Amino acid sequence: MVREEESFLQDVTEKIKKRIEKIDQTLLTGQKEIENMHDYYWENYTEMDQYGYEDYDNQQALLSQVNANQEAAKQKQRFLKMLDSPYFGRVDFVYSGETEKEPFYIGIGNFAEEAGSIPLIYDWRAPVAGLFYDYDKGEASYEAPAGVMTGEIISKWQYKIRNGRMIYAFESDTKIDDDILKEELGSSSDVQLKNIVRTIQKEQNAIIRNQRDKILVIQGAAGSGKTSVALHRAAYLLYHDRKNLKASDILILSPNSVFADYISHILPELGEENIQEMSFDLFAYRELRGITDDCEDRYHHLERMMKYPDAEQSRRFQKKQSSEFIGEMEGFLAILEDRLMDFREVSFRGIKKTEEELIRLFYFKFQDLPLLARMDAVREYVVDEYETLYGKELTEEEAEAVKAQFDRSYVTKDIYQIYSWFLEDNGYPPLPDISLGQRMTEYEDVYGLLYLKYRLLGRGKHRRIKHLIIDEMQDYSYLQYVILDMLFDCKMTILGDKAQTLDETVHDVCTFLPGIFGKKMRKITMNKSYRNTVQIASYAAQFSSDPDVELLERQGKEVEERQFQKEDDLLEAILEAVSAGEEMFETAAVLTRTEEEAEDIYHIWKSKGVQVSYIDRNSTSFRKGLTVTTFYMAKGLEFDQVFAVKDRKETPLDNQAAYISATRALHELYVFSLC
């Protein structure tokens, strides 16, 4: 059997090489065609027809050839990847009513000897691949375009192929053999997140292939593969809906740019283009330009909370993110008109509109429009009336002057000031009364201000985005989810772990999400953790409120807890442990509570010539080797070795920091503190 497998591998490899050679020839021919078109154009453009038809035809032909070459180049890259490891699984399947088994090889992408012929290797997202992920030996089925195909799985094989060489061929009754899974998960961490196509579990596969639910909420334990599953789901949806869904139609709201870099290779590895990424805080900052000069982000708030704990400030922050706060704002909006409006007569070019006429238009004809957008509609109506009646258009200068007249009917159009009115009316400290260029909005008010903007000016849905991925869902407030619902009317994948909250108390967002998204939402729980060893997971469990986490039984080194009198001794102990593990491990992280602590350690080591990287909120990349950062910047990342460092000072987030830090560790966890 082994000889047969090696023969098939060799045969497939040779055929892939031949396809690459054909593509190279196609690319060469295409490039010559492009060059010929360029030469023809420059030699003949003066003689082309005066109407531009020939020029247009030449440009279209050129564009078509360029696109064809780009597509061929993408195909070549995919086949080059397949040369390293063409497939990783095989299912021998006998269809109902037949006697001959049919082997299905499963790989990272489809491969057929010729375009349009039966594949030798099937893409992991193809319907038939579900046999590999979802079934043991015995009766099985998959849903094909022609309908449900039933039959029996005779045998299942798992392979590890590297550089075109068979490392092992393993027959197994189970979906993914535990030993293979442990080997994959137990290897040293990469600079980026691993794709999981070789080890997708049944429960993960069900989420990845879910096309039914509009909003899928994944509540998962640390290390359960939430982010990987979400990205593989995006790849699956792109594969199955190419007509309606492109990579540019998908947006991921990620915690920071480092995390975005950490996951950036997944989709290209799976044969897809990368998707858009941004943080919600950055989005809010951009949306509030012209209202405030600058905004704090979540990290400013966290640092202040840990350095200067203030129970009253924490209570006020939570209140401002709540449904109760939105209720207060809606009450304020209900009576705002009387305070905000001071109608003035308008006249231009012989046209006069009295206060009464403006009031009638404002409150009756355009009453359904947002308050600050309503007078613009009145103005456009009046101007259109004039231009239709007299057949004349206003000059740009006149239009600006007319707009200023209509705007006088507002006491103010400054949303910052209006929000400050609301705060003061409801017993909160008002915003500082300062000019736009001096405004720095604290984080507790950023999303309240954004909500008010949308209620006063309106906001259309982001129709271009057809699928939204929200990671670290536990760090979004009720108010933020309401705003997201205002912005997006598309399919969503929302994922997170309530135990990894950055709030002082653990809260489950799934308790209020149904009230926002309704019946179109489905919640799935992923309780099995694959990242940590038993020893690390057991240590982390004491800081978690979730007792139901299942573990992959992977044994490792006991967690090492030590106390130090001096910081120098603590730092030296870290370097000794990193040095001892450098032959086995690729990555190590020192995780502190605050940014100041992380920066201090980084500078000490840099001054001594230690090779170390530093990650803060402005960082954009994740590197191998030793890294210093805060626990909150490490969320979503994983490291071979983790050193959770605690200063003498207690903070309100010590418990969360301990849990998050511990669950970042793949193999070794050290908990070092100063006493």
Residue 35 or 453, more confident: 453
Judge whether 117 is annotated as a binding position. no
**DSSP letter assigned to residue 127:** G
Least reliable range by pLDDT among 68-72, 186-190, 300-304, 368-372: 186-190
Least reliable range by pLDDT among 58-67, 318-327, 637-646: 58-67
317: which residues sit within 8 A by CB, 6+ positions away? 301, 443, 444
- Judge whether residue 651 has pLDDT over 80: yes
Task: State pLDDT tens for residues 113-132.
Answer: 887 789 999 999 999 999 99
d(CA 665, CA 662): 6
- Judge whether residue 186 has pLDDT over 60: no
- Judge whether residue 174 has pLDDT over 60: no
Judge whether 529 is annotated as a binding position. no
- Judge whether residue 53 has pLDDT over 70: no
Judge whether 458 is annotated as a binding position. no
Label residue 216 by pLDDT band (50, 70, 90). very high
Judge whether 220 is annotated as a binding position. yes
Q: For the chain, give the number of residues.
A: 675
Q: What's the mean per-residue pLDDT of the chain?
A: 91
Range list of β-strands (E), 75-144:
89-95, 102-107, 121-123, 138-144
> Do 534 and 556 touch, CB atoms closer than 8 A?
yes
State the Rg of the chain over Cα: 30
> Do 267 and 413 touch, CB atoms closer than 8 A?
no
**DSSP letter assigned to residue 111:** B
Residue 262 or 192, more confident: 262
pLDDT mean over 451-480? 94
Judge whether 518 is annotated as a binding position. no
Label residue 638 by pLDDT band (50, 70, 90). very high
- Judge whether residue 134 has pLDDT over 70: yes
Judge whether 221 is annotated as a binding position. yes
| CA 442, 445, 450, 452 torsion-angle sign | negative
pTM of the model: 0.89
Q: Provide the b/e sequence for 310-349 (b: ≥16 CB within 10 Å).
A: eeeebeebbebbeeebbebbeebbeebeeebbebeebebe
Residue 66 confidence (pLDDT): 85
d(CA 557, CA 668): 6
DSSP of 505-527, one letter per residue?
Answer: S---GGGTHHHHHGGGEEEEEE-
pLDDT mean over 633-650? 94
pLDDT mean over 522-545? 91
Judge whether 226 is annotated as a binding position. yes
> Do 586 and 624 touch, CB atoms closer than 8 A?
yes
Judge whether 175 is annotated as a binding position. no
Task: State pLDDT tens for residues 197-208.
Answer: 888 888 899 999
